[in-house]
Structure 1
Amino acid sequence: MTIVTDRPIAVIGAGTLGRRIALMFATGGGVVRVCDLDAGQRAAAAAYVERELPAVLASVPGSSAAEVELTDDLAAAVAGAWLVVESLPERLDVKIPVFAQLDQLAPADAILATNSSSYPSSEVIAEVTRPERVVNLHFFMPPGARACELMSCGRTDPEVIERLRGALPRFGLSPYVAQVESRGFIYNRIWAAIKREALMVVAEGVATPADVDALYVEVTGQKDGPFRKMDRVGLDVVLDIEENYAAHRDGVPESPRELLRSYLAEGRLGMKTGRGFYDYGGQA
């Protein structure tokens, strides 16, 4: 399996994370294709990359701008690609059939990666004929957070992980490898405990989201607290992740998910809808 730098990279999904992943890959020259069925998402992704790319290029040594193409055609998106990154909702009923399609449509030597933050890639390969090229490549929230995590599907060719570990720094990314399969990988297992406890504090009426964040920031010195971070990710995504943890681990409390559901019922999904735990003035 070879990585040819003049071959395209494809990102499947133009949502909050998909467009940020595309932004980072757009610092490596060549062509980056972003595929999404929603025309609004494609337009928003194009605008985001155009707006943010100059600053990111300036921060990545040796970078050069890629040509970013937007499409709603999966076959066209992956044609000739050496790397395909799926960034779709955290639902296996979405991911499994998409990976089946990618397995058939992408070049035989293309690496197929899922950006899933809570599903090991072993759970998306049920209909994949070449699982040795499937891997977890989990991003956080670039360009601010440029760390990413690599993890085998259990049948991933070790060379895939080594090649990605060597290639990703070229795009200003810092890869870390999970040595064994771990639901939540490395950082998110730690973050999940903080996030869940913060939600419980609010659900129990101990403090408001704003007070939790203010205290957290003052004590830790971090820029944002857990509620501001959840708003940035999207409360629908946070709930999907929590539901997945609850389905696979004993003792995950219900109250954090109940609190999230109450916000979603009011259409408060976070920054992308202009309202979440905070009000962003109607600006997504």
Structure 2
Amino acid sequence: MTYTLPANIADRPITIVGGGTLGRRIALMLSLQGAEVRVFDTSLAVARSAVEYVATQRHRAVNELGGSQAVRLAAQDNLTTALRDAWLVVEAVPEKLGLKQALFADLDHLAAPDAVLASNSSSFAASEFIGGVSHPERVLNMHFYMPPAVRSVELMSSGHTDPRIIDLLMAELPKYALTPHVVRKESTGFIFNRIWAAIKRESLLVVAEGVAEPKDVDALFADVFKSEITPFRFMDEVGLDVVLDIENHYCEVAGVENKSAPMLQEYIDNGWLGVKSGRGFYNDYS
């Protein structure tokens, strides 16, 4: 069967699968045009919390970025209901390959035949989790950073993605105040994250080896690069559990040992996950 691009997208919902830190921020951006946005999570409480976040933050985002004041949000813990007639589905679940493989097989079966199935994964290429997908031509990576503050989005083909989907998203995403960039060749970490991974890895190592404290690394980084974003503050925002998953995957692909894993695991075992738990490398989050 030949894949047909989604039609009447202005009148159809968008579904975000995963209501965590990034899922809710993606939902916020994709709500700017007033389309119905559904947030699915296996925990209805998490989905409702994500919808509440969008509802409370949306007015400011519309004022700053433009868009419709109308808002239609729904929290779902039933995947079939959440996917019904959606033209775009964005996966934002934890960086676990088996989880993504199972989920995309379900999405392929349950979503509308013309729905675009996008993964927000920053460390797994879509080619790694389309084994159970009957129509891989509609699957791709659509990687967000930390919107609405960072609005760049990377689009990367699975190697089977219909090129018209890339063209469609390049045209549609700017309507949501997003700036899309095409990753020209499959790459673990895509564009920016390959560069960031090197900075992050060395930052973790100089602390794990006792060369510096996180605050020293951040202070130097801020001074030299005149940047408000610094390595350890940023890792605290992402979540140290997520950082560990990503680092483990990068090291596995490269065939090297993750030497910072014991330090990260100690933080995680203590419940110090970063901003979301109130403490990470820093303990001044209220």
Query: What TM-score, normalized to structure 1?
Result: 0.96
Preserved CA contact (<8 Å) 1:269 1:276? yes
Residue 247 of structure 2 is aligned to residue 242 of structure 1: yes
Give the partner amino acid of 1:42.
Answer: A
Question: Does the alignment pair 1:276 with 2:280?
Answer: yes
SS, match of residue 224 in structure 1:
coil
Range moving further from structure 2, 232-241 or 216-225: 216-225
Match of 1:153 in 2: 158
Alignment counterpart, residue 143 of structure 2, candidates 134, 138, 142: 138
266, 269, 274: which one aligns with 2:270? 266
The 5 A counterparts of 1:6-21 are 6-21=11-26
Q: Distance in 1 between matches of 2:56 and 2:200?
A: 31
**Partner of 1:172 in structure 2?**
177
Conserved 8 A contact 2:34-2:67: no
Question: Structure 1 residues 62 and 271 mapped into 2: Cα distance closer, same or farther (>3 Å)?
Answer: closer
Residue type at the aligned position of 2:191: I
Q: Tell me, yes or no, if the aligned pair for 1:115 and 1:137 is still in contact at 8 Å.
A: yes
% of aligned pairs identical? 50
Matched, 1:201 2:218: no
Alpha-carbon contact 2:38-2:75 (below 8 Å) kept? yes
| Contact 1:34/1:69 (8 A) holds in 2 | yes
Normalised to the residue count of structure 2, the TM-score between the two structures is: 0.95
Q: CA deviation at 1:37?
A: 1.4
**Residue 44 of structure 1: CA displacement?**
2.1
Cα displacement (A) at 1:46: 2.1
Q: Deviations over 1:145-179 (max 9, x none)?
A: 10010000000000001100110000010000000
The 1-side partners of 2:191 and 2:91 are apart by 20
- How many pairs were matched up? 281
Cα deviation digits, residues 116-172 of structure 1 (max 9, x gap): 000000111010000000010000000111001000000000000110011000001
The equivalent of 1:90 in structure 2 is 95
Does residue 71 of the first structure (1) align with residue 76 of the second (2)? yes
| Cα offsets for 1:222-279 (capped at 9, x unmatched) | 112100000000000000001111111134x432222211111111111111111011
- Write the mapping of 1:215-234 to structure 2, written as runs, cut at 5 A: 215-234=220-239
Task: Render the CA deviation track for 1:62-103: whole Å, top value 9, x for unaligned.
Answer: 444431110101111110100000000001111111111110
Structure 1 unaligned regions, length at least 5 = none
Question: How many angstroms apart in 1 are the aligned matches of 2:263 and 2:70?
Answer: 42
